[in-house]
């Protein structure tokens, strides 16, 4: 049995970790290119339309890239589904081919579980191997010790499995009842309920926070034998659970990058930068691009080590909650680039709540296949809709909130300037010919965007304070329920303090989801952008042209282009084919949620993760292999 810290050495180890937890500073670097999020190897984009038309027409093109993106996405997803293993023998062979080792013990029971429950994705679990791979460098004893000791860290609970039964505990406060642990620990306990009797005795360290936790410095990953010596040298100081002005996440993240990377090169102040170069680079995030490009995927693998300037645009780098600089096996609902957390399904996805579950009846505590506020497609608004709180980061240090992901979205949609945006639309409607025109931002926002904050958070840390926040961002004092979203065809899903817990509910609705995120979640191999949802770049600037393709040119767009469509009745100015394609994405997203995003699919993922985890936990790891 391994039911606690176990040794004085272990407690010294945790004490040292808590001290290193407090180390901080603020570093960044600059880059030469003027592109915004230009890492095309990670986020390939459609060709630049303006370059396509050179040598042809300066105003029109004959082919729009979105239909091709959609067609490729459907082919890729169908191929992925069709190649899934059909038998246990095939699954074992596929596992050995991918991971160069035997599956874990219990793989046959897991296979029976997925077959009995109609799980479609039976081979796509690369994320588990990726998340657990760093822990193979630890001995079984070290692994068990770190898993158990993690429960002493702030906002970390333990789910203990003993004798085939799980129990969530908060050992810091001496609590072993459900009232003393986080909702995420309770959620994980529910996820293992159906198969916990098949698991050996183990401890799972569950992150109670939405933010990722594990950021291990590059040197400690390369030379793990030096880690404990470095920790032992700093057994002094007092721990506090948040940064409290003593540092921030960016400094901790920066240390995970290779020594020669741009993120490790230059020093900058902990105050918001006022240099011309930095401000010019940040202003690009709000610039009115003259290019029409589309992201192929969301940016969970974007390299902030190579592009350190871009960290200013994401609030998770300014979280006020401390990260952990040592390789602890911590289970979290999502992680950004550079983090070493172990991904598990969000308790928001697996659970059933009024704020996060489509079709949930909070009065009768029942789940319905159609939400009582669902709206027929023909009656849904054509506007792009988003509501949320003015959060996104913890303001540690303060002064950067203006560039957080949510603020940039709302500020872009609130822009009432006369500056033009380049819009590409079918002219005439329904034709294969697409025309460019320049349209005033104010007019586009009035016709296309319905985006606003509904809750004021942390205004005193916003540059310029409360007045500046109100001046540049729209606020909707009425607020919304989850069901109010179903009145709109386009639903935007963006990160908050961490990942977005509303994504699965949005997918299950009859609306199309436009998603922008820097987080990676357990389902990334199971879902297909441009089939189940529309991916957005971190700048969001392509929203206007996405809308123009699916819904057609707006009134101001048609007037700016002096389009012949103005002679048509308003109902005939819409894009019938585009609307049909948009509805296809909405339906595909709903079908995905009901066939691959079910609660039992999440349980199948966690079941397989637990088997892999059990092998790492065992003194004799080879004995925990499965062979036919």
d(CA 619, CA 141): 7
User: What range defines the domain where residue 493 resides?
Assistant: 352-597
pLDDT tens digits along 496-546: 989 999 999 999 999 999 999 999 999 999 999 999 999 999 999 999 999
Residue 264 has pLDDT above 60, yes or no: yes
d(CA 182, CA 174): 14
- Mean pLDDT to the nearest integer, 203-225: 88
Residue 92 inside a domain? The answer is no
DSSP category for residue 322: P
Residue 446 inside a domain? The answer is yes
Across 559-571, b (16+ Cβ under 10 Å) vs e yields ebbebebeeeeee
DSSP category for residue 242: B
Residue 60 has pLDDT above 80, yes or no: no
| Least reliable range by pLDDT among 17-31, 205-219, 584-598 | 17-31
Tell me the pLDDT band of 84, cut-offs 50, 70 and 90.
Answer: very high
Residue 443 inside a domain? The answer is yes
pLDDT tens digits along 326-383: 899 999 999 999 999 999 999 999 999 999 999 999 899 999 999 999 999 999 999 9
Residue 341 inside a domain? The answer is no
Residue 116 has pLDDT above 80, yes or no: yes
Give the containing element (helix H, strand E) for 488.
Answer: strand 488-494
Residue 212 has pLDDT above 90, yes or no: yes
**β-strand pairing of 488-494 with 512-516:** parallel
Q: What is the pLDDT of residue 291?
A: 62
Residue 458 to residues 61, 389, 401, 402: CA-CA distances in angstroms? 46, 10, 9, 12
| Least reliable range by pLDDT among 166-175, 446-455, 603-612 | 166-175
The reported pTM is: 0.89
Q: What is the pLDDT of residue 564?
A: 86
Q: What is the DSSP string of 153-168?
A: STTEEEEEEETTEEEE
Residue 12 to residues 8, 146, 472, 551: CA-CA distances in angstroms? 6, 12, 50, 62
Residue 53 inside a domain? The answer is no
pLDDT tens digits along 403-445: 999 999 999 999 999 999 999 999 888 888 899 999 999 999 9
Helix axes 576-595, 543-551, angle to 10 degrees: 110
Residue with tokens 């123009």: 548
Residue 164 has pLDDT above 70, yes or no: yes
Residue 491 inside a domain? The answer is yes
DSSP category for residue 235: -
d(CA 108, CA 563): 63
Give the containing element (helix H, strand E) for 131.
Answer: helix 126-132
Tell me the pLDDT band of 20, cut-offs 50, 70 and 90.
Answer: very low
Are 535 and 69 in contact by the 8 Å Cβ rule? The answer is no
pLDDT tens digits along 543-568: 999 999 999 999 999 999 999 888 88
Residue 326 inside a domain? The answer is no
Q: What is the pLDDT of residue 322?
A: 85
d(CA 136, CA 491): 41
Tell me the pLDDT band of 236, cut-offs 50, 70 and 90.
Answer: very low
Both tokens of residue 522?
């357990």
Residue 72 inside a domain? The answer is no
Helix axes 107-116, 599-617, angle to 10 degrees: 180
Residue 133 has pLDDT above 90, yes or no: yes
DSSP category for residue 265: T
d(CA 245, CA 242): 9
Both tokens of residue 300?
């969970």
- Cβ contacts of 564 within 8 Å, gap of 6 or more: 427, 428
Residue 25 has pLDDT above 50, yes or no: no
- Mean pLDDT to the nearest integer, 214-219: 91
d(CA 490, CA 625): 47
d(CA 222, CA 166): 35
Tell me the pLDDT band of 238, cut-offs 50, 70 and 90.
Answer: very low
Q: What percent of the chain has pLDDT over 70?
A: 83
Number of domains in the chain: 1
Give the containing element (helix H, strand E) for 202.
Answer: strand 202-207
Q: What is the pLDDT of residue 359?
A: 95
Give the containing element (helix H, strand E) for 203.
Answer: strand 202-207
Extract long-range pairs of 1-9: CB within 8 Å, 24+ residues apart: 1/162, 1/201, 2/144, 2/148, 2/201, 2/203, 2/617, 3/148, 3/160, 3/162, 3/201, 3/203, 4/148, 4/171, 5/145, 5/148, 5/149, 5/152, 6/145, 6/148, 7/145
Q: What is the DSSP string of 24-53?
A: ---B----S---SS--TTTS-BPPPHHHHT
């Amino acid at each position: 049995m391994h039911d606690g810290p176990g040794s004085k050495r272990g407690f010294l180890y945790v004490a040292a970790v808590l001290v290193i937890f407090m180390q901080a500073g603020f570093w960044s670097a600059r880059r030469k290119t003027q592109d915004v999020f230009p890492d095309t190897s990670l986020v390939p984009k459609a060709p630049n339309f303006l370059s396509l038309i050179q040598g042809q027409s300066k105003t029109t093109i004959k082919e729009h890239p979105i239909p091709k993106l959609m067609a490729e996405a459907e082919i890729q997803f169908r191929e992925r589904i069709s190649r899934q293993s059909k038998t246990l023998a095939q699954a074992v062979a596929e596992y050995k081919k991918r991971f160069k080792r035997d599956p874990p013990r219990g793989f046959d029971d897991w296979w029976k579980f997925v077959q009995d429950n109609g799980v479609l994705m039976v081979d796509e679990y690369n994320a588990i191997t990726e998340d657990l791979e760093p822990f193979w460098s630890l001995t079984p004893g070290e692994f068990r010790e770190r898993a158990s000791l993690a429960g002493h860290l702030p906002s970390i609970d333990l789910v203990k499995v003993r004798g085939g039964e799980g129990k969530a505990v908060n050992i810091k406060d001496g609590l072993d009842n459900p009232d003393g642990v986080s909702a995420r620990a309770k959620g994980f306990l529910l996820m293992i309920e159906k198969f916990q009797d098949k698991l050996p005795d183990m401890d799972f360290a569950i992150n109670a926070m939405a933010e990722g936790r594990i950021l291990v410095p590059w040197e400690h990953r390369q030379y793990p034998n030096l880690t404990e010596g470095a920790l032992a040298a700093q057994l002094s100081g007092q721990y506090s659970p948040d940064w409290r002005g003593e540092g921030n996440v960016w400094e901790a993240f920066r240390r995970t990058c290779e020594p020669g990377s741009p993120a490790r090169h230059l020093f900058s102040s902990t105050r918001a930068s006022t240099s011309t170069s930095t401000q010019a680079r940040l202003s690009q995030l709000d610039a009115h691009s003259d290019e029409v490009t589309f992201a192929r995927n969301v940016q969970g693998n974007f390299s902030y080590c190579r592009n350190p300037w871009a960290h200013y645009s994401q609030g998770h780098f300014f979280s006020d909650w401390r990260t952990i600089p040592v390789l602890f096996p911590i289970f979290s609902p999502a992680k950004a680039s550079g983090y070493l957390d172990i991904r598990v399904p969000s308790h928001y996805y697996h659970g059933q709540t009024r704020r996060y579950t489509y079709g949930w009846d909070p009065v009768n505590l029942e789940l319905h296949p159609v939400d009582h506020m669902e709206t027929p497609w023909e009656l849904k608004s054509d506007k792009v809709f988003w509501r949320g709180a003015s959060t996104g980061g913890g303001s540690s240090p303060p002064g950067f909130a203006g560039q957080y992901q949510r603020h940039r979205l709302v500020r872009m949609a609130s822009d009432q300037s006369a500056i033009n945006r380049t819009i590409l639309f079918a002219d005439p409607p329904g034709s294969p010919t697409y025309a460019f025109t320049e349209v005033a931002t104010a007019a586009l926002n009035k016709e296309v965007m319905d985006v606003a904050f509904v809750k004021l958070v942390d205004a005193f840390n916003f540059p310029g304070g409360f007045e500046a926040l109100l001046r540049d961002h729209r606020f909707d004092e009425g607020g919304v329920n989850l069901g109010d979203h179903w009145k709109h065809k386009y639903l935007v899903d963006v990160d908050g303090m961490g990942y977005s817990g509303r994504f699965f509910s949005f997918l299950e609705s009859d609306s199309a989801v436009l998603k922008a995120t820097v987080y990676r979640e357990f389902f990334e191999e199971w879902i297909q952008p441009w089939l189940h949802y529309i991916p957005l770049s971190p700048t969001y600037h392509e929203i206007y042209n996405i809308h123009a393709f699916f819904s057609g040119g707006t009134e101001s767009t048609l007037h700016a282009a002096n389009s012949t469509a103005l002679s048509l009745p308003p109902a005939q100015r819409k894009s019938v084919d585009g609307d049909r394609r948009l509805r296809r994405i909405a339906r595909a997203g709903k079908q995905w949620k009901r066939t691959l995003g079910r609660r039992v699919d999440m349980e199948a993922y966690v079941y397989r993760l637990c088997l892999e985890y059990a092998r790492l936990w065992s003194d004799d790891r080879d004995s925990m292999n499965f062979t036919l």
